[in-house]
Amino acid sequence: MSLRTPLGRVRGLGAAREGTGHFWAQRLTAVALVPLTFFFVVFVFLMIGADHARAVALMGNPLVAVIMLLFIVAGFYHMKLGMQVVIEDYIHHEGIKTASVLLVLLGSFALGTACVFAVLKLAFGG
CATH of residue 90's domain is 1.20.1300.10
Q: Is residue 32 part of a domain?
A: yes
Q: Is residue 7 part of a domain?
A: no
Confidence of residue 17 (pLDDT cuts 50, 70, 90): low
Say yes or no to pLDDT of 118 above 80. yes
The tally of CA atoms less than 13 A away on the side-chain side of residue 32 is 18
pTM, two decimals, is 0.82
User: Which range marks the domain in which residue 86 is found?
Assistant: 21-123
DSSP state of 51: -
Gap between the Cα atoms of 117 and 40, Å rounded: 17
Do 122 and 64 meet the contact criterion of CB atoms below 8 Å apart? no
pLDDT in tens, 56-65: 898 999 999 9
Instruction: Check residue 114 and give its pLDDT.
Output: 98
Domain count, the chain: 1
Q: Is residue 16 part of a domain?
A: no
Gap between the Cα atoms of 20 and 86, Å rounded: 16
Confidence of residue 4 (pLDDT cuts 50, 70, 90): low
